């Protein structure tokens, strides 16, 4: 069974610091997503990425956030200057094509901002 | 913006009882997906519905998409303890460029 992997599994950082969350989508997938889930709350869409550019982004995805696909396998989410309210579980997801419906989620990175 | 609501927020059932969660969108959807998330886990894709009035079944799970493509339901027949978790619907109005998740229904199954 193919799977999306994410590193690190946990990250603790000081407010104002930059963090980079890493994801390795499934190898033949073309659509990539970042979501976040604040503890006990719903999953919130952040951004989708296709063909090396952002397809859609939510209001949450402001100038503090950026995504990159630096090579053929990694997909990263950068938060430039973390705030306390950025503490959440961040999930990466990928999908094969627009017609392939299954969206595979990674195990998540739990980010804690102190 | 698009909003997705789900009811109930929590449901406690006795093992063997049926369970239904309902999802409503403020906008017409192009497609809707359902996910299950176990405590401490990540969302796991269950199914996608695309057509108006579509009904899909997976063993004891029945998924329905409303005629107006603004609401959906998930019904579980004869729940088992392995069904425990939070069930989320996620709607898209742009064919999957983004998905708006509902708040989820947390299901507890008492043995």
In this complex, the residue of A31, A44, A98 whose CB is nearest that of residue B101 is A44
B49-60 pLDDT, tens digit per residue, is 999 999 999 999
Average pLDDT over chain A, rounded to an integer: 92
Q: What is the DSSP string of A48-89?
A: EEETTEEEEE-TT--TTEEEE--SSS-EEEEESS--GGG-EE
A67-110 pLDDT, tens digit per residue, is 999 887 899 999 999 999 999 999 999 998 766 678 899 999 99
pLDDT at B2: 82
Residue of B90, B94, B98 to mutate when probing chain A, most A C-beta within 10 A: B98
pLDDT at A102: 85
Average pLDDT over chain B, rounded to an integer: 95
Asked whether the beta carbons of residue B31 and residue A98 sit closer than 8 angstroms, the reply is no
**Using 50, 70 and 90 to split pLDDT, how confident is the model at B93?**
confident
CA atoms lying within 13 Å on the CB side of residue B53: 1
Q: Of B32, B4, B19, which Cα lies nearest the Cα of B85? A: B19
pLDDT of residue A43 exceeding 90, the answer is yes
């Amino acid at each position: 069974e193919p799977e999306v992997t994410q590193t690190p599994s946990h990250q603790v950082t000081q407010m104002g610091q930059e963090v980079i969350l890493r994801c390795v989508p499934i190898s033949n997938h073309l659509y990539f997503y970042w979501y976040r889930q604040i503890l006990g709350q719903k999953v919130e869409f952040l951004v989708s990425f296709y063909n090396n550019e952002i397809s859609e982004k939510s209001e949450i995805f402001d100038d503090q956030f950026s995504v990159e696909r630096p090579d053929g396998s990694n997909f990263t989410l950068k938060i430039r200057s973390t705030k306390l309210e950025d503490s959440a579980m961040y999930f990466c997801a990928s999908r094969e094509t627009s017609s392939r419906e299954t969206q595979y989620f990674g195990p998540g990175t739990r980010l804690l901002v102190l | 913006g698009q909003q997705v609501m789900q009811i109930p927020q929590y449901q406690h059932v006795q093992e063997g009882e049926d369970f239904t969660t309902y999802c409503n969108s403020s906008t017409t959807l192009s497609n809707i997906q359902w996910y299950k998330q176990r405590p401490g886990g990540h969302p796991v894709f269950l199914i996608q519905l695309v057509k108006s009035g579509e009904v899909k079944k997976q063993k004891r799970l029945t998924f329905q998409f409303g005629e107006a493509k603004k609401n959906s339901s998930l019904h579980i027949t004869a729940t088992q303890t392995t069904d425990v978790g939070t069930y989320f619907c996620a709607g898209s109005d742009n064919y999957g460029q983004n998905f708006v998740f509902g708040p989820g229904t947390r299901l507890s199954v008492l043995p």
